[in-house]
Structure 1
Amino acid sequence: MPSISVKIARNIDSTNRLLCSERKTMAATRSNSFPRSSRQHPLATEVNEHLNRLRSSKEASTSSTSISHKLNGFQDLYDCVVKFLQLPLSHHALAHECADELLDGSLRLLDLCSTAKDIVLQTKESTNELQSALRRRKIGEYEIVSEVRKYISSRKVSKKTIHKALGNLKVIQRKNTVSHSETVSMLKEIEAMTCSMFEDLLSLISGPKPRSWLSVSKLLHQRRIECEDAARNVNEFEKVDVALKSFGTTKSEIINLEMQNQLKDLELFIQDLEDGLECLFRCMIKARVSLFNILTL
C-alpha cells in the first residue's frame, strides 16, 4: 500500500499536469480567439476585400484616371475601417499594442493629405487665373506672358513642396514595424498603402524629373524605335507644362485654343482631385478619432 507521502506526490504530480494542460488550453484559446473572430467578422472580411482590390491596383497605371479611382477606393476602405474600429475585438487588440504608434501614423497621414490638398488648391487658383487671361480678347501679349510666368512660378513652388513631402514620406515608410496582432498588422498595411497612394499622387502632380541633354540624346534613338512611347500616359499637369513651352515659342490663335483646351482638362482633373482628397481627409479624421477613443478608454 502506497505511503501517504507517495500519494501526496502523485496528487501533486497529477495536479501539475492538469494545471499545465489547462494553461496550454487557455493559451491556445487566447491566441486563436481573436484572429478567428477577426477573420470571421463581416467587417473584417470587408476591410480585407477593399485591401485586396487596392493591392491589385498598386502596380497599375498611375494615370489621372487610375489615381481618381484609387482615391475613391481609399475612401471606401477608411469608411469600413471606421466601422471596424467600433468593434470590441478591435478595442481588445489595440488596447495592448501599438495604439500610440498607430495614432502618430494617422496624424502623419493627415498632414500628408493636407499638403496634397493645399498643392491642388494652389494649382487650381493659378490655373483659373491663366484661363481667365487667355479668354480675355482685349488683353495684351505682355499680360498673357505675365500670367504664364505666374503659373510656371506657382508650379515650381508646388514641386518644391512636393519634393519635401516625398522626403518626409520616405521617413514615414521606414518607421513601420512588425506586429504579432492581426488587427494592428492590418492597420499598418493600410497606413503603408495610403503612403504609397500619396506618393503616386504627388509624383503625378509634380510630373517627371527634367532630363539632362546627354540623357535626352541617348534616348532619341530608342524613342524613335518605340513609337508607342509617344502614346504613353501623360497626365493633365504634364500636358499643360508641355503646352506652355510651345506657347512660349509659338504664339498663334491655334496654340491659344489648344492651351485653353489643355487647361480645361486640367481644371476638371483638379476638381476630381480636390473632391476626392476632401472626402478622404474626412474619412481619415474619423478613423483617427476612433483610434483616439480606443486609446483613452
Structure 2
Amino acid sequence: MAAKHHVIRSISLPSRSHPTTLRVEEELNRLQTSSSCDSTSDSICKSLCGLDELYECVDDLLQMASTQQLLSQHQQKKCMDELLDGSLMRLLDVCGITGDEISTIKEHVRDLQSALRRRKGDTSLESSISKYTCFRKKMNKDAKKLITSLKQVDNKIATSPLLEQDHHLTAVIRVLREVRVKNMSIFQSLLVLQHRLDAALYNLCKSSTATFECANKRLEALEVTIESLENGLESVFRCMIKTRASLLNIISQ
C-alpha cells in the first residue's frame, strides 16, 4: 500500500495578509519541515500533534469577524459546500474509521497478550489468532475504501479553481485548502503505517518460532505505538469537529 505524498510549499501570502492567516501559514510550514516523508510511528505521531495545533490556528481564523462576514455571503455557498461536504466530512470519516480500527487492533493485541500469559494448553491463543484474522480481512477492505475516498478529495482539490476575490477571502480559502491537503497527506501516511502494524501483528500470530518472552515484548511495543496513534487521532478528530461546527455556524449567520 503506497502513500501519495504531497509537497507542501510555503503559501507565501501577500504582506497584507492578516496576522491570524499568517499564523496558519507558519504552522503549515512548521508541520511540513518537521514531518518526514516516511510512515514511521514517531513521524506520524508528531504529524498528528502538529495537525492538532494547525486546526487550533484555523479555528482562530474562522472566529474572526471579517472571515465570518465574507464566508457567510450567499455567493460563497459553493466554496463553503466544498470545504464542508466536499472534503472536511470525508476527512472526518477517514479519521473516525481509522481511529476505530486502530483501537480494535489494540484490543486484539491485548487479547493476544492475555492468551500468551495463560499458556495452559487450551485453545485461547488459536481463538485469538482466528478472531484477528477475520478482523484484518475487513480492515484491509475498509483501507481500500478510505484510500479511494482520499483520492476523490485529492482530485477535487486539484480541479477546483481559486478565484481572485476579496484579498482576505482569497487568503482564507487558500490556507484552508492547504490545511486540507496536509491533513490528507498525513492520513494517507497513517493508513500505510496501519497496514505495517497489521502485517507485523499478523506475522507474529503466524510465527511458530517466537518465544513467549519475545512475542510478549513485541506485543507490548505494538501496544505503546498504537496508544500514541490512538490519542493523536482522537485529539485531531475533536479539532476537526470544532472546525466543522465553526463553519456550520458561519453558514447559519
Q: Shared fold (TM-score greater than 0.5)?
A: yes
Partner of 1:194: 183
Provide Cα deviations, 1:218-251, integer angstroms capped at 9, x if missing partner. xxxxxxxxxxxxxxxxxx544333333323xx3x
Do the aligned residues in 2 keep the contact of 1:130 with 1:151 (CA within 8 Å)?
no
Do the aligned residues in 1 keep the contact of 2:99 with 2:230 (CA within 8 Å)?
yes
Pairing 1:48-87 to 2, within 5 Å after superposition: 48-87=25-64
Do the aligned residues in 2 keep the contact of 1:112 with 1:165 (CA within 8 Å)?
yes
Partner of 1:179: 162
Give the distance between the partners of 1:257 and 1:143, measured in 2 at CA. Answer: 18
Pairing 1:160-179 to 2, within 5 Å after superposition: 160-176=141-157, 177-179=160-162
Q: Quote how far apart the aligned CAs of 1:111 are.
A: 1.0
Unaligned 5+ residue runs, structure 1?
1-33, 208-235
Please point out which of 114, 128, 138 is paired with 2:96: 114
Provide Cα deviations, 1:55-109, integer angstroms capped at 9, x if missing partner. 2345532100000001100000001111111112322442343112112122111
Write the letter of the residue equivalent to 1:179: L
Pairing 1:208-247 to 2, within 5 Å after superposition: 236-247=197-208
Do the aligned residues in 2 keep the contact of 1:130 with 1:148 (CA within 8 Å)?
yes
Please point out which of 109, 112, 127 is paired with 1:127: 109
Write the letter of the residue equivalent to 1:120: I
Do the aligned residues in 1 keep the contact of 2:39 with 2:193 (CA within 8 Å)?
yes
Indicate the SS of the match to 2:188: helix
Deviates more, 1:262-271 or 1:149-158: 149-158
Do the aligned residues in 2 keep the contact of 1:74 with 1:280 (CA within 8 Å)?
yes
Q: Quote how far apart the aligned CAs of 1:164 are.
A: 1.3
CA radius of gyration, larger in: 1
Do the aligned residues in 2 keep the contact of 1:93 with 1:183 (CA within 8 Å)?
no
Do the aligned residues in 2 keep the contact of 1:94 with 1:294 (CA within 8 Å)?
yes
Partner of 1:277: 233
Q: Quote how far apart the aligned CAs of 1:54 are.
A: 2.1
TM-score by length of 2: 0.83
- In the TM superposition, structure 1's runs of 4+ consecutive aligned residues that sit over 4 Å from their partners are 34-37
Give the distance between the partners of 2:35 and 2:28, measured in 1 at CA. Answer: 10
Give the distance between the partners of 2:26 and 2:66, measured in 1 at CA. Answer: 19
Write the letter of the residue equivalent to 2:137: K
Percent identity among equivalent residues? Answer: 36
Matched length: 228
Write the letter of the residue equivalent to 1:111: D
Write the letter of the residue equivalent to 2:162: S
Partner of 1:289: 245
Write the letter of the residue equivalent to 1:196: S
Provide Cα deviations, 1:204-226, integer angstroms capped at 9, x if missing partner. 1013xxxxxxxxxxxxxxxxxxx
Unaligned 5+ residue runs, structure 2?
1-12, 164-169
Give the distance between the partners of 2:128 and 2:83, measured in 1 at CA. Answer: 44
Write the letter of the residue equivalent to 1:186: V
Do the aligned residues in 2 keep the contact of 1:86 with 1:290 (CA within 8 Å)?
yes
Q: Quote how far apart the aligned CAs of 1:149 are.
A: 2.4
Do the aligned residues in 2 keep the contact of 1:94 with 1:184 (CA within 8 Å)?
no
Do the aligned residues in 2 keep the contact of 1:68 with 1:272 (CA within 8 Å)?
yes
Q: Quote how far apart the aligned CAs of 1:259 are.
A: 1.2
